[in-house]
A and B are shown apart, each in its own frame.
Chain A
Amino acid sequence: DIVMTQTPLSSPVTLGQPASISCRSSESLVNSDGNTYLSWLHQRPGQPPRLLIYKVSDRFSGVPDRFSGSGAGTDFTLKISRVEAEDVGVYFCMQSTQFPRTFGGGTKVEIK
């Protein structure tokens, strides 16, 4: 199975400031169809994970444009341009290039 490693484990941020989360996969996530299936999920306490970004950089419906994804191959980044209070929670990266889906361990974003 592909191993997904996220850093940092925790990210205290100031409201209105940017935040960045990294995710590295144990092997390339480029699929045989040419697409790279790397997603980012956000989870608030007591809630299910919510899809933010798929295929590295495509924002899911309704996701604010302060969220952006980038990267290629094995290294990926999620950026929040200006953190808002509703952005707190845990962020996960997930690969869907290869079965089974595998997930990063999560990065907790909290307000300083």
Chain B
Amino acid sequence: EVQLVESGGDLIRPGGSLRLSCTASGFTVNNYYMSWVRQTPARGLECISILYSDGTNTYYADSVRGRFTISRDNSKNTLYLQMNSLRAEDTAVYYCTRLGAFDIWGQGTVVTVSS
């Protein structure tokens, strides 16, 4: 069964760092474009980062560029999102998705940035 499981969400203070993980099963992450999508009541659903299947090319939304880094570990079949300099507005549910003709979504992990 194709599945994505996110982890790493937490309560973190502003300015702090956090790394989210997304472990895939049923397929190999390095064969697909993978992304992180976040959801907030105010901004709705927002694609914040994409990792191309070549493992090198990336996309970042303006809101996270320079602070977040997407990467993968092929040996662990896992996608990551390193989040630095976190702000209150980064508070959201973060979803990992596999991109394709139809997208596969994980269950999400909650990040709360608050003092």
Binding site for B on A (CB under 8 A): 35, 37, 39, 48-51, 54-55, 58, 60, 92, 94, 96, 99-103, 105-106
Contacts and interface: CB of A to CB of B under 8 A. Distances in A.
Given A48-B108, A100-B61, A39 B103 contact: yes
Contacts of A49: 45, 95, 105
B44 A100 contact: no
A100 B97 CA distance: 12
User: What does DSSP make chain B's interface, helix, strand, loop or mixed?
Assistant: strand
Interface of B: 35, 37, 44-47, 50, 59, 61, 95, 97, 99, 101-108
Contact of B59 (A37, A48, A100): A100
Given A99-B50, A100-B50, A103-B44, A54 B35 contact: no
27 contacts: A35-B101, A39-B102, A48-B95, A48-B105, A48-B106, A49-B45, A49-B95, A49-B105, A50-B105, A51-B103, A51-B105, A54-B101, A54-B103, A55-B101, A58-B102, A92-B44, A92-B45, A99-B50, A99-B59, A100-B35, A100-B61, A101-B47, A101-B97, A101-B103, A103-B44, A103-B46, A103-B47
